[in-house]
């Protein structure tokens, strides 16, 4: 099963969210055995952490391209 293969886990946030929804649905259906459920749960927790980490680790940045150089940029306040 692919759950144990970490390299096969989704990396884009939409894929992570999709897989998370699938896992939650599978677990709620109660069809899986306990070991399958545990594996699914662990995968879900891992994905949720990975997704949250990606959102948390993003960095606010406002820059402008000046000629060939990228420089910090500030939006001018409206006049008056």
Partner 1 sequence: MVNPALMALGRGGAPLTVSQLTTQLRQLLEQRYPRIAVVGELSSVRVHNGHCYMCLKDNRAQLQAMMWGREYRGLKVRLEDGMQVIARGRLTVYEPQGRYQLTVESIEPVGAGALQAAFEQTKARLLAEGLFAAERKRKLSLVPSTVAVVTSPTGAVIRDIVNVASRRYPKARILVIPSKVQGAEAAPWIAGGIRRASQLAVSQDISVVIVARGGGSLEDLWGFNDERVARAIAACAVPVVSGVGHETDTTIADFAADLRAPTPSAAAELVWPIAAELMQRLSRPTARMTRALRRDVTRERRRLGSAHTHLRQAALGRCRDERLALQRLEGRLARLHPRARLAGAHAKLEGLASRLAPPTRARVVASRNALDGLASRLAAPTRARVVASRNVLDGLASRLTAPTRARVVASRNALDGLASRLTAPTRARVVESRNALDGNLARLAVTMREQLAAQRARLGQVAGRLHALSPLAVLERGFALVTTPSGSVARDARELAVGDHVDIRLARGQIQARVERLLPPDDEDT
CB closer to partner 1 out of 9 and 37: 37
Q: How far is the CB of 71 from partner 1 (least distance, A)?
A: 10
Tokens encoding 65 = 């391209």
Taking CB atoms within 8 Å and a gap of at least 24, the contacts of 50-55 are 50/9, 50/16, 51/13, 51/16, 51/17, 51/20, 54/13, 55/13
Helical pair 34-57 and 13-29, crossing angle rounded to 10 deg:
150
Query: Site residues (CB under 8 A) for partner 1?
Result: 12-14, 16-17, 20-21, 23-24, 27-28, 30, 32-35, 37-42, 44-45, 48, 51-52, 54-55, 58-66, 70, 73, 75-76, 78
Q: How far is the CB of 8 from partner 1 (least distance, A)?
A: 19
Q: How far is the CB of 5 from partner 1 (least distance, A)?
A: 16
């Amino acid at each position: 099963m692919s759950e144990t293969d970490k390299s096969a886990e989704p990396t884009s946030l939409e894929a992570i969210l999709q897989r998370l929804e699938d896992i939650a649905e599978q677990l709620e259906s109660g069809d899986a055995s306990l070991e399958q459920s545990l594996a699914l749960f662990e995968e879900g927790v891992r994905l949720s952490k990975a997704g949250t980490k990606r959102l948390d680790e993003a960095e606010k940045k406002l820059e402008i391209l000046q000629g060939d150089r990228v420089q910090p940029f500030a939006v001018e306040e409206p006049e008056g």
